[in-house]
């Protein structure tokens, strides 16, 4: 097999995602916060009220995965569906009191994971953030085969509401 140096980027990105998951999971476990679907819950916290279609567009996850995640979070009591006033066929997702509690209790664990990493950065975190957003955007486009404008480098930072 001939290894293309450009493929190293994808390998690094994939491995980084796995390692970040392990790091955040360690901190969530210390805090006693459920690990399952915590990141997806964070997207709902950030965007609520949000439709499944908006979540799919933001995360790049296929609609079938979104439906499965929503069902699991609803069964767990972390989200509820509210009628979409603009479209009677769809719904908005919002966190329940329990879901907000999970998001609120989990956020310090995310911050702790981030703080464990920052001493090892060779450049400011904002530069890494801009690069990661650009890469996530490129991956989403690759999945859909649709080219769109790159999001602004000044887009907001993910934080629970």
- Tens-digit pLDDT profile for residues 23-54: 999 999 999 998 889 999 999 999 999 999 99
For residues 29 and 36, give the distance between their C-alpha atoms in angstroms, rounded to a whole number.
Answer: 11
Q: What pLDDT score does 25 carry?
A: 94
User: Please, which residues bridge with residue 80 across strands?
Assistant: 94
In this structure, of 12-21, 40-49, 138-147, 151-160, the range with the lowest mean pLDDT score is 151-160
**Tokens (6 digits) for 116:** 């464990």
**Per-residue confidence (pLDDT) for residue 150, from 0 to 100:** 60
Domains and CATH numbers, the chain: 7-125 (1.10.10.10)
pLDDT at 151: 57
Token pair belonging to 7 = 């493929």
The predicted-structure confidence for 107-145, as pLDDT tens digits, reads as follows: 999 999 999 999 999 999 999 889 988 988 888 888 878
Q: What is the pLDDT of residue 159?
A: 37
Given a cut of 80, is residue 94 above it in pLDDT? yes
pLDDT for res 153: 44
Please give the pLDDT value at position 157: 42
Name the token pair of 37: 């679907």
Contact at 8 Å (CB) between 86 and 51? no
pLDDT value at 161 more than 70: no
- pLDDT of 7 reads 78
pTM of the predicted model as reported, rounded to 2 decimal places: 0.76
Residue 96, pLDDT above cutoff 70: yes
Q: Closest Cα partner for 111 from 28, 41, 6?
A: 28
**Residue the block writes with tokens 């493929």:** 7
């Amino acid at each position: 097999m001939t290894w293309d140096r450009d493929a190293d980027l994808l390998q690094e990105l994939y491995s980084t995602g796995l390692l970040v998951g392990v790091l955040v999971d360690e901190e969530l476990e210390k805090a006693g916060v459920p690990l399952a679907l915590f990141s997806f819950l964070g997207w709902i916290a950030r965007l609520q009220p949000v439709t499944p279609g908006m979540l799919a567009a933001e995360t790049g996850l296929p609609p079938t995965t979104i439906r499965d995640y929503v069902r699991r979070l609803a069964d767990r009591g972390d989200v509820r569906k509210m009628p979409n006033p603009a479209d009677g066929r769809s719904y908005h997702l919002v966190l329940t009191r329990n879901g907000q509690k999970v998001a609120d209790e989990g956020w310090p664990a995310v911050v702790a994971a981030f703080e464990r990493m920052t001493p090892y950065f060779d450049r400011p975190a904002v530069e890494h953030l801009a690069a990661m957003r650009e890469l996530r955007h490129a991956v989403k486009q690759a999945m859909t085969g649709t080219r769109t404008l790159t999001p602004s480098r000044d887009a907001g930072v993910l934080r629970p509401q």
